Amino acid sequence: MDPLLLIIRTIGEIFAFIAILRFLLQTMKVDYYNPISQAVVKFTQPPLMPLQRIIPKLGRIDISPLVLAFLIKLATLFILVSITGSSLGIASIVMLSFIGVLDTLLTILFWATIGSVIISWVAPDSPHPAPQLLQQLVEPLFALVRRVIPPIGGLDLSPIAIFLVIQIVQSQLPRLM
């Protein structure tokens, strides 16, 4: 792979990742004063300000970070296609950008769930901001699954159910193209 393409793709993915992370932190009501949350907000606020003026909230959910992530993925793909001279149409680029945002969102939730499970074994009540952020990020999902599958003999099966759902959805994403 050409180093220039790798750099452009990596920068685009990092910016989109941070924008999606902001959406998840807001949606899951993670502690706003957590230093990691504060860093994400400070990093994403300048590009989000114009979008937040234009895009209305859906109830209490601010979707402007998702729109920002979509626009970043769209611009990144457009630049990569332009440089390589690929023959992807605009509809394909838009669809790939949408699928990319959804895939990144699911990937973040997948790894946050793994991190949360590991932290629950190693340091369940850690005062460090990172474990607290991970626990707060996935706890609403765990609680949602626990309503359907309660813990059995002290064993919480909600992470397994979340892993399965994420894997099933991600396996179907290529079919959307």
How far is it, in rounded angstroms, from Cα 8 to Cα 79? 8
CB atoms within 10 A of CB 20: 28
- Greater confidence, 88 or 6? 6
pLDDT, one tens digit per residue, over 111-136 is 999 999 999 889 888 889 999 999 99
**pLDDT at position 64 over 90:** yes
pLDDT higher at 60 or 164: 164
- What is the predicted pLDDT for the residue at 44? 95
Which residues lie below 8 Å from residue 74, measured CB to CB, with a gap of 6+? 93, 94, 97
Please, are residues 116 and 134 in contact by the beta-carbon 8 Å criterion? yes
Residue 1: pLDDT band with limits 50, 70, 90: low
pLDDT band at residue 40 using 50, 70 and 90 as cut-offs: very high
Residues in CB range of 156: below 8 A, 6 or more apart: 142, 146
Q: Residue 175's pLDDT is what?
A: 82
How far apart, in whole angstroms, are the C-alpha atoms of residue 65 and residue 122?
33
Question: How high is the pLDDT of residue 2?
Answer: 87
Predicted local distance difference test score (pLDDT) of residue 123: 84
The reported pTM is 0.91
Q: What angle do CA 99, 75, 68 make, to 5 degrees?
A: 70
The domain total for the chain is: 1
The CA distance from 174 to 149, in Å, is: 29
Q: Give the pLDDT confidence score for residue 177 in this predicted structure.
A: 67
Range of the domain at 134: 3-176
CA angle 23, 40, 72 (to 5 degrees): 60
